């Protein structure tokens, strides 16, 4: 019997498990993918996100420091450059593995390459069935991203389609941009993408170039990304990569019995900017601390878990 099983080892899951392990709780993290794993993302990590962590991000995980932005709108550009860091650009493969290692070092047990198929709240504990095993746990945290299996159990219903955005991203090598260098300035483009925006984020030797908007607003998303690249004088790539982003989590249920939700699984992405790593880490931290408090004895006080209500995440 585990004290806590965390489903998903992205930034949200690693943070919950690190916090639970710090409290000496028997913690298991399960992820269907084997780490290091790729995650489609612009890789922008804001300074406020870094402030949530009580450790530094090592140089080998950082692609680029960011200290400014150029905002483009209808042919006009406003550029802001600061003499201090505004955030980092990272490859999620390295960033997420680093955070997971931090949890492991604190004592969390990690089993990757193991998919959770379903969970069943038995009242006295929760059964977690994977494609390899069945585990028992006193608490289960769903940190399993936008298409969360755990969320379906917690919410007991499908989430309405209006709560999803769509983002597409391509990696473009620095040499393919004629007049652009991988400096510390990000570019954002408003006005061209209905209900959203386009971005060019300079990583060490490549750019993350992408667009994001609400699914119903962005007609023909592949064509839209192709024309965004064309406007930047870039050739259309051979493949397009896109993924959904969940929004509207503030008003959604996140705790039921012995089960809790964090990060994308809880719908915690900024609906305007699409920033999700901040909310993943913040909700993960608060969830871990809440579970820590709930376990004053061998058994958790489930009433304590209910403190993780809607607004707590967004404070």
Ligand X SMILES: Cc1cc2nc3c(=O)[nH]c(=O)nc-3n(C[C@H](O)[C@H](O)[C@H](O)COP(=O)(O)OP(=O)(O)OC[C@H]3O[C@@H](n4cnc5c(N)ncnc54)[C@H](O)[C@@H]3O)c2cc1C
Identify residues 179-238 at the interface with ligand X (CB under 6 A): 210
**CB contact set of 91 (below 8 Å; sequence gap of 6+):** 43, 61, 63, 203
Q: Is the peptide bond before 36 cis (omega within 30 degrees of 0)?
A: yes
Of 254, 275, 276, which Cα lies nearest the Cα of 263?
Answer: 276
Looking at 19-27, 39-47, 155-163, 250-258, which segment touches ligand X (CB under 6 A)? Answer: 39-47
Which CB, 55 or 124, lies closer to ligand X? 55
Identify residues 88-127 at the interface with ligand X (CB under 6 A): 115-116
Three-state DSSP at 132 gives: coil
Q: Which residue is nearest to ligand X (CB)?
A: 276
Please give the distance of CA 109 from its chain centroid, rounded to a whole number.
Answer: 21
Of 313, 226, 234, which Cα lies nearest the Cα of 266?
Answer: 313
Q: What is the dihedral of CA 29, 33, 39, 40, to 10 degrees?
A: -130
Among 30, 62, 88, 151, indicate the residue that binds ligand X (CB under 6 A): 30
Helix axes 92-105, 11-22, angle to 10 degrees: 10
Which CB, 149 or 290, lies closer to ligand X? 149
Which CB, 202 or 210, lies closer to ligand X? 210
8 near ligand X (CB under 6 A): yes
Which CB, 274 or 300, lies closer to ligand X? 274
- Least separation, in Å, of the C-beta of 275 and ligand X? 4
172 near ligand X (CB under 6 A): no
Residues making contact with ligand X (CB under 6 A): 7-13, 30-33, 39-44, 115-116, 143-145, 149, 167, 169, 210, 243, 245, 263-265, 269, 274-278, 280
């Amino acid at each position: 019997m585990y004290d806590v099983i965390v489903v998903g080892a992205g930034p949200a899951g690693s943070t919950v498990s690190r916090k639970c392990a710090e409290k000496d709780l028997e913690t298991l993290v399960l992820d269907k993918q084997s780490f290091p794993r790729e995650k489609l993302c612009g890789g922008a990590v804001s300074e406020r996100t870094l402030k949530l962590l009580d450790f530094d991000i090592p140089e080998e995980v950082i692609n680029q420091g960011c200290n400014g932005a150029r905002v483009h709108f209808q042919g006009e550009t406003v550029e802001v450059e600061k003499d201090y860091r505004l955030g980092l650009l990272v490859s999620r493969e390295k960033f997420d593995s680093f955070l997971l290692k931090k949890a492991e070092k604190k004592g969390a047990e990690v089993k990757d390459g193991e998919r959770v198929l379903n969970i069943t709240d038995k009242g006295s504990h929760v059964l977690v069935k994977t494609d390899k095993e069945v585990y028992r746990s006193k608490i289960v945290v769903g940190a399993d991203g936008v298409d969360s299996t755990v969320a379906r159990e917690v919410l007991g219903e499908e989430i309405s389609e209006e709560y999803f955005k769509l983002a597409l991203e391509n990696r473009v090598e620095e040499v393919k941009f004629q007049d652009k260098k991988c400096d510390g300035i990000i570019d954002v483009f408003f006005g061209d993408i209905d209900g959203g925006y386009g971005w060019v984020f300079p990583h060490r030797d490549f750019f993350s170039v992408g667009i994001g908007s609400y699914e119903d607003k962005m007609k023909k998303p592949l064509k839209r990304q192709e024309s965004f690249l064309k406007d930047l004088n870039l050739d259309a790539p051979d493949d397009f990569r896109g993924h959904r982003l969940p929004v509207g989590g503030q008003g959604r249920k996140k705790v039921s019995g012995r089960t809790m939700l964090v990060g994308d699984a809880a719908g915690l992405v900024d609906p305007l900017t699409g920033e999700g790593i901040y909310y993943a880490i913040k909700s993960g931290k608060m969830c871990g601390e809440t579970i820590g408090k709930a376990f004053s004895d061998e058994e958790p006080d489930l009433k304590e878990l209910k403190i993780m209500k809607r607004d707590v995440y967004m404070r």
